[in-house]
Amino acid sequence: MLAADYRGPRRVRADQKPMPTIEHPRDAILRVTRSCICGSDLHLYNGLVPDTRVGMTFGHEFCGIVEEVGSEVENLKPGDHVLVPFNIACGQCHFCRQGLFGNCHESNAQATAVGGIFGYSHTAGGYDGGQAQYVRVPYADVGPTLIPGWMDLDDAVLLTDVVPTGYQAAEMGGIQKGDTVVVFGAGPVGLMAARCAWLFGAGRVIVIDWVHYRLEFARHYCPAEVYDFREIDDMAVFIKRQTDSLGADVCIDAVGADASGNALHTLFGKMIPIEAGSAIPLHWAINSVKKGGIVSIVGVYGPTGNMIPIGNVVNKGITIRANQASVKRLLPRLIDHVQAGRIDPKALITHRVPLEDISDAYHIFASKLDGCIKPILLPNG
Ligand code: NAD
Ligand code: ZN
């Protein structure tokens, strides 16, 4: 079968690989119908995630048709169309039982923090991902969710990560009616977070980025007030000016360690390596939120390199909430939101690319070229 093949930093190509097989009675094999490239893949692509091995197949956002199931999988059968949460969750451990499916202990027992994630290095369990014609899905009786007959597959594939992550970013912000919410990052995750902020009662939504076509999209899609951070001298002063000197009620970091390095390049004329600390949006969030406010982080950071201004967190009495999205916990209500038209995921898709051209798709998405917001791969045509 054809599958993504990581060859080293900024080198991903499509190659022939062996078909996946059932390795455990709770596995299923899926024929992939849609697969996305995510901002999180850019951390891998740029070689920033420890233990990303050459030869790995990336891809944690995919949906497909069940091809085969292991002997212990009772709730799926061949032919079912399913979307698959990016977190690999056993459904039974201490964390899964609390709905913390992103922190499953069984799927990545050697790690101290994150649970298993498809196609996300050996740090996240070493599972191959879905940027491929076929993929093995462990614990297939837990994550895979039947795609309702009325749902467009383009919407379904975005329910595997972008929608739940954006929604959870807003949820963790504890948004109260009328709140001013500032979202750093107008990538797919930030756009979805800003859109969802309204569902929680926000009174005002501000989106900060520097990529103009994304800001323009945010203006209409979220909808949000938008600002290019290159035109702002001091972020905290600017946000205070916008908010009667108080600061934002909620700040959301939907950037993380800037995988492309573009923004930091522009700011400092050179890329800051992740080890040296590249948490600019997080600093901005902490410094711009009001006293007693909430900072919600869904942007992904390495274990080091965060250099949080912890003194300001203490002195301002800020609450920080962060996690990988717990996709399975959120799916029922998100499917309702999509059906009711309150969230329109597929509007984010700008590029549809055959798997053969994956190398171009990574380049375009990483470079923020060609108006790219969300590229999807069509592994089986
Ligand atoms: P993306 O790369 O498409 O978007 C990131 C955006 O941030 C870009 O538009 C970039 O120009 C902008 N940016 C860079 N520096 C900035 C700054 N200082 N201030 C404001 N904007 C800045 O990525 P995405 O797919 O939207 O993902 C965003 C982040 O969310 C990534 O870190 C990704 O790893 C993370 N993520 C987390 C989860 C989770 O479960 N927690 C799930 C998916 C993605
Ligand atoms: Zn993702």
Cβ 186 vs Cβ 209: under 8 Å: yes
Rounded distance, CA 166 to CA 161, Å? 8
Q: How far apart are CA 329 and CA 322, in angstroms?
A: 16
Nearest to 211 by CA among 62, 352, 39: 39
Closest ligand, as measured to the CA of 120: 2
Residue-level pLDDT at 84: 98
pLDDT tier for residue 339 given thresholds of 50, 70 and 90: very high
Strand-pairing partners, residue 16, are 2
CA of 158 to the centre of ligand 2 (A): 9
Atom of ligand 1 nearest to the CA of 38: 25
What pLDDT, on a 0 to 100 scale, did the predictor assign at position 308? Answer: 75
Closest by alpha carbon to 194, among 222, 158, 165? Answer: 222
Domain ranges of the chain: 2-161+326-378, 163-322
In 3D, which of 130, 107, 114 has the Cα closest to residue 24?
Answer: 107
Would you state the pLDDT for residue 51? 87
Class of domain 2-161+326-378: alpha beta
Nearest residue (by CA) to ligand 1, atom 25, is 39
Mean pLDDT of 308-330: 93
Tell me the per-residue pLDDT of 119-160, one tens digit each, with 9 for 90 and over: 999 989 999 999 999 999 999 999 999 999 999 999 999 999
> What pLDDT, in 10s, does the model give residues 262-311?
444 334 343 444 333 345 888 899 999 999 999 999 998 765 555 677 88
Q: Which residues line ligand 1 (CB under 6 A)?
A: 38-40, 42-43, 161, 165, 184-190, 208-211, 214, 229, 254-256, 258-259, 263, 280-281, 298-300, 324-325
Give the pLDDT of residue 267: 40
Residue type (1 letter), 223? P
pLDDT greater than 90 at residue 261 = no
Closest ligand, as measured to the CA of 260: 1
With 0-12 / 13-18 / 19 or more C-beta atoms within 10 angstroms meaning exposed / middle / buried, residue 18 is exposed
What pLDDT digit, counting tens, does each position of 31-79 carry? 999 999 999 999 899 887 888 999 999 999 999 999 999 999 999 999 9
> What's the predicted TM-score (pTM) here?
0.95
Please give the radius of gyration of the chain, using alpha carbons only, rounded to the nearest integer. 20
Q: Which fold has domain 163-322?
A: Rossmann fold (3.40.50)
- Are 374 and 36 a contacting pair, CB within 8 Å? yes
At 349, which helix (H) or strand (E)?
A: strand 349-354
Amino acid identity of residue 350, one-letter, is: T
Return the pLDDT at 111: 65
The atom number, within ligand 1, closest to the CA of 210 reads: 11
Is residue 338 within 8 A of residue 150, CB to CB? The reply is no
> Residue 256 above 90 pLDDT?
no
DSSP sequence for 109-161: TT-SS--EETTSTGGGT----SSBSEEEESSTTTS-EEPPTTS-HHHHHHTTT
Euclidean distance between CA atoms 332 and 76, whole angstroms = 18
Taken in order 43, 48, 53, 54, is the CA torsion positive or negative? Answer: positive
Question: Percentage of the chain surpassing pLDDT 70?
Answer: 92
Ligand 1 center from residue 369 Cα (angstroms): 15
What letter represents residue 110's amino acid?
Answer: Q
- Cα–Cα distances (Å) from 24 to 49, 97, 127, 144, 276, in that order, read 27, 22, 13, 16, 41
Q: Is residue 363 a contact partner of residue 344, using CB atoms and an 8 Å limit?
A: no
Query: For a pocket test of ligand 1, which of 255, 282, 370 has the largest count of ligand atoms closer than 8 A to its C-beta?
Result: 255
DSSP 3-28: EEEEEETTEEEEEE-PPP---STT-E
Q: Residue 359's pLDDT is what?
A: 97
Nearest CA, atom 17, ligand 1:
281
Atom 26 of ligand 1 has which residue's CA nearest to it? Answer: 187
What pLDDT is attached to residue 259? 54
pLDDT digits (tens, 9 = 90+) for 353-380: 999 999 999 999 998 888 999 999 999 9
Fold match, 2-161+326-378 / 163-322: no
| Residue 258 banded pLDDT, cuts 50, 70, 90 | low
Q: What is the ipTM of this complex?
A: 0.99
Terminus-to-terminus CA distance in the chain, angstroms? Answer: 13
Task: Please give the distance, rounded to the nearest whole angstrom, from the Cα atom of residue 186 to the centre of ligand 2.
Answer: 15
CA of 162 to the centre of ligand 2 (A): 6
CB 48 within 8 A of CB 302: yes
| Unique residue bearing structure tokens 């990016």 | 86
Q: Mean pLDDT check: name the lowest of 28-37, 234-243, 258-267, 310-319.
A: 258-267
The answer to whether 280 and 324 have CB atoms below 8 angstroms apart is: no
Instruction: Quote the pLDDT of residue 283.
Output: 87
Question: Is 36 within 8 Å of 158 (Cβ atoms)?
Answer: yes
